[in-house]
Amino acid sequence: MAGISAGLVIVRCYEILGAEENPDAAFGKAIAIQMLTTAVLFMVLPAMVNLYDPSVFFITLGILVGLALLLKPLSAPFQQNDKLSGDIDFGVVFISLSAMAMVMLTHSAVWSTLSAYASTHHIEIQNQGLLFAVGTLFSVAGAMLATFPVAHQRKALILTIALVLQCLVVSTMLTGDDMYSFIVATCIFQLLWNLIVPLVMGTMASGRYGHVVIRFALAAQTFGAALGPLLLVPGWVLPEVLVFLFMTYLLISSTMMAQKTQ
């Protein structure tokens, strides 16, 4: 029930954010708030659980849900007729959802290996949580970069640069044995990915069939996130991830080209 309820809330949030005048910025702000909250919980909850008991975790979540009820309700404006009229091009819808699934697949594949590679780079287990918590703050910075007008105006260029840089960053993370380069690469990895995600989400929401795509975005994200770690083959992680990144670029580019022809 908790999963179903959370899914309904998230899909509704996506619809609201996708209906904004600049969905790239809307998703960027939302993800920044999400990442900031996550960073705070990363640092506070373990200490509270150790000080009291595990029930503190659920009590905290309950308090956050209660606070969310106090927020002013938002509603999506009425969809324009030109977005609802005519037949739906399921090819465009499928490509858009595939792009979102591929983004999450690649991210989850890399994320599932971080702990093992952190140990390889001589980062002790107790310090890994701190590293990933600090990295979450870089996620906030990445999401905030997506809110700048230039990110919306030069979206294709910025996404291309971000994905190319991500190839270099992932290569640094998954090779070598220098601890400091791994730490820097991990932070940049989280920054870039949370720059990419809101721009991709905004692209999906702003097309002619955005009202259809955005309702299935969570399913695509969940499918990609679950599939990513399962596709990794020991000894071939880096080549696989680079292929995933290239496929992500092709799908995002195809989505943007398809929207221009609508």
Gap between the Cα atoms of 135 and 189, Å rounded: 8
Q: Which residue has the higher pLDDT, 180 or 38?
A: 180
Determine which of 73-82, 141-150, 193-202 has the lowest per-residue pLDDT on average. Answer: 73-82
Domains (range + CATH), the chain: 2-65+88-260 (1.20.1250.20)
Across residues 54-82, what is the average pLDDT?
A: 74
Q: Quick check: 86 pLDDT over 70?
A: no
Long-range residue pairs from 41-44, CB within 8 A, at least 24 positions apart, any chain: 42/129, 42/132, 42/133, 42/136, 43/133
Across residues 41-66, what is the average pLDDT?
A: 82
Percent of residues, the chain, with pLDDT higher than 70? 94
Find tokens 């606070």 and name the residue.
67
The reported pTM is 0.84
Confidence of residue 196 (pLDDT cuts 50, 70, 90): very high
Q: Provide the pLDDT for residue 166.
A: 95
Q: Provide the pLDDT for residue 162.
A: 95
Q: DSSP secondary-structure letter at 126?
A: H
Q: Provide the pLDDT for residue 142.
A: 92
